[in-house]
Amino acid sequence: MKTLELDVDWDGHRAGQHLDVRLTAEDGYQAQRSYSIASAPGERPAITIERLDDGEVSPYLVDELREGDVFEVRGPIGGYFVWDGDEPEPVLLVAGGSGVVPLAAMARHWKRVGSSAPMRLLYSARSWDEVIYRDELEHLGIGVTYTLTREQPERWQGYARRIDDELLSEVAFPASEGPRVYVCGSTHFVDAAADGLVRLGYDPASIRTERFGATG
Amino acid sequence: MSDPRVLDGNAVGGLLHDVFGAEVTAVPCTCGSCGARGEIARLVVYVDCPGVVVRCPACTQVLITIVRVHEHACVDLSGVGRLEL
């Protein structure tokens, strides 16, 4: 896992947006991947890359890229999965694995703008070691709940299972408060979380989702 | 639709920006077959085909296909009822 800060010539980004990285080999072969922007609006765009051993792009970005290297970036992209910081409703962020990246941008933005909207993050990861940004998340001032689905530290007091309706009902704002929801993760995770929230009475239109593919 | 190959319209935001010259993931799209309406970000997207296939989440009608041929993007919008650009 590595975070890269990018020096780009664009007019800022919105929390939740992503960008496309395109690498071109000497023979002209191109590979393109999308990465969520991890930093808050007003900060330099940063992307956090999970290295996949059999990937085409992530091993290069994680292992070989050096400060000052230049590559092609398209963005910022997205006008749907965004949170601008002036929305009054409570905000529920639901992250599966590296799906936390765009949600971390929203949480950082929440802190920067001093939003008075309550914000909670429910973060599902396989193990404590795989929780990204954990020190920072603890200190932002939002409510953070973890569930560790595969392996838990000794004396772990938190949730230790995949997201289900009971877990969601304990962590999520009541539907009556009209929260905005952002869910990001694998397709399976996103479907499970969004379907569960709808069963809790959430308006499907209030649930914004972004599905990640693992294409390295 | 928990097929892991299935993504959503966010995944083709950059490609569609190239096609339309604007950010469109929040643009409402109406299915030409069943009439379901929702933002492009909510549509079902397959990116591991030859090209990109965008389907209606309600009835699975193919709404948009985009195939790159050399420098050209060949865009088929024939399944779309309406795009509120």
- Give the integer Cα–Cα distance in Å for A170 and B70: 52
Query: Is residue A32 a part of any domain in this protein?
Result: yes
Per-residue pLDDT tens for A90-116? 999 999 999 999 999 999 999 999 999
Number of folded domains that form chain A = 2
Q: Are residues A56 and A112 located together in one domain of the fold?
A: no
Question: Which residue segment(s) compose the domain that B31 sits in?
Answer: 6-83
State the pairing for strand pair B80-83/B28-31: antiparallel
CB contact under 8 A, B7 and A81: no
> What integer pLDDT is reported at residue B68 of this predicted model?
87
For A191, the closest of B1, B10, B11 (CB atoms) is: B1
The CATH number of whichever domain residue A182 belongs to comes to 3.40.50.80
Cβ of A213 within 8 Å of Cβ of B47? The answer is yes
Q: Which of residues 27-46 of B touch A (CB under 8 A)?
A: 39-42
Model pTM score? 0.96
Band of the pLDDT at B50, cuts 50, 70, 90?
Answer: confident
Task: Indicate the residue among A33, A52, A77 that finishes a domain.
Answer: A77
Same domain, A62 and A101: no
Q: Kindly state whether residues A72 and A95 are assigned to the same domain.
A: no
Asked if residue A83 is part of any domain, the answer here is no
Contact between chains at B25 and A78 (C-beta distance less than 8 A): yes
Please check the confidence at residue A84 and state whether its pLDDT lies above 80.
Answer: yes
Of A79, A188, A211, the CB nearest to B8: A211
Tell me the pLDDT tens digit for each residue of A158-205.
Answer: 999 999 999 999 999 999 999 999 999 999 999 999 999 999 999 999
| DSSP per-residue string spanning A132-164 | TTHHHHHHSSSEEEEEESS---TT--SB-S---
Residue that terminates a domain, selected from A39, A54, A77: A77
Please check whether residues A103 and A147 belong to one and the same domain: yes
In chain A, which residues have their Cβ closer than 8 Å to the Cβ of B14? 19-20, 34, 74-75, 77
The per-residue pLDDT for range A132-145, each reduced to its tens digit, is: 999 999 999 999 99
Note whether residue A192 is domain-resident: yes
- Which A residues 185-204 touch B at CB under 8 Å? 186-188, 191-192
pLDDT (tens digit, 9 = 90+) per residue, B5-34?
Answer: 899 999 999 999 999 999 999 999 999 999
Please report whether residue A86 resides in a domain.
Answer: no
Give the pLDDT of residue A216. 67
Q: What residues pair up with A75 in beta bridges, in sequence order?
A: none
A162 touches chain B (CB under 8 A): no
Band the pLDDT of B69: cuts 50, 70, 90: confident
Note the pLDDT of residue A215. Answer: 67
Residue type, position A184, single letter: C
ipTM: 0.93
b/e for A204-216, b at 16 or more Cβ within 10 A? eeebbbbbbbebb
- The reply to whether residue A80 touches residue B6, judged by beta carbons under 8 angstroms, is no
Residue A1: name the closest of A129, A109, A189, A108 by CA. Answer: A129
CATH number at residue A17: 2.40.30.10
Of chain B, the percentage scoring pLDDT greater than 90 comes to 81
Supply A33's token pair.
């991947």
Contact by Cβ (8 Å): A196, A164: yes
Domain count, chain B: 1
As a whole number, mean pLDDT of residues A12-34 equals: 94
User: A52 lies in which domain range?
Assistant: 2-77
Q: In A, residues 76-95, which contact B (CB 8 Å cutoff)?
A: 77-81
Chain B contact set for A81 (CB, 8 A) = 10, 25, 41
- Please, what sign has the CA dihedral across residues A185, A150, B5, A202? negative
Helix (H, G, I), strand (E, B) or coil at A112: helix
A154: distance to nearest CA of chain B, Å? 32
A187 and A115 in a single domain? The answer is yes
Shortest alpha-carbon distance between residue A49 and chain B (Å): 16
- Rounded Cα distance between B41 and B28, Å, is 9
